[in-house]
Amino acid sequence: MAHRRFLQVDHPWRKNKNSFDNTKEVRHEPKTLIGDYVLAQVENLHVIFGKSTIKRKQGVEINHN
């Protein structure tokens, strides 16, 4: 789940692959998002409240409330 990414780079758990998923965590932690950047990403997002339908592969619609 990559939660070890948030530890310090020199933390011993980042290299401990036996206790986790057999991988060493070598990636850096993700950048902290600033509110203005997030707002710019979602300002053109159109949300319609109400019933939503999900189509399955067979073409059957499922209504979610």
Please tell me the distance from the alpha carbon of residue 22 to that of residue 4, in angstroms, as a whole number: 13
Span 14-36, pLDDT tens digits: 888 888 888 888 888 888 889 99
Q: What is the identity of the amino acid at 34?
A: I
What pLDDT is stored for residue 12 in this prediction? 92
28 by Cβ neighbours in 10 Å (0-12 / 13-18 / 19+) ranks as exposed
Tell whether the model's pLDDT for residue 39 goes beyond 70: yes
Q: State how many domains the chain has.
A: 1
Average pLDDT estimate for 40-54: 74
Rg (CA), the chain: 20
Provide the sign of the torsion angle of the four alpha carbons 33, 37, 39, 45, taken in this order. Answer: negative
Containing domain of residue 28, as a range? 3-64
Question: Does residue 63 surpass a pLDDT of 80?
Answer: no
7, 26 Cβ separation under 8 angstroms: no
